[in-house]
Structure 1
Amino acid sequence: MAQDGHPAEDYLSPRLESLIADGVKAGFARNVVIAVLIDLLDDGPADDAEVR
């Protein structure tokens, strides 16, 4: 499924869907997998800033 000229989204979208599907196959609810991914992305830069 091509997006509107966003190559990064075109590249990442199928990989994220696959990661979410793997989490669901492992027994986690889809919304939980997505929430954890969002949390990981939210916390990433803050953690990096604290190390510096």
Structure 2
Amino acid sequence: MAATIRFVRTRSLLKDEQIHTTGFAMEFALAIVLAVLIVVASIPLLVSAL
């Protein structure tokens, strides 16, 4: 889903002839989600080790 959103945004930016700044909001949000998922997935491993 995120790839589709990025593709549509990139396509529209390429069609536009203005100079645009790079955005990192999508990458940052995905990194946060991935970090949270890793922490949640590791909780059972930590609990079983105790």
Task: With a CA cutoff of 8 Å and minimum separation of 6, indicate the structure with the bigger relative contact order.
Answer: 2
- Fold match, TM over 0.5? no
TM-score by length of 1: 0.43
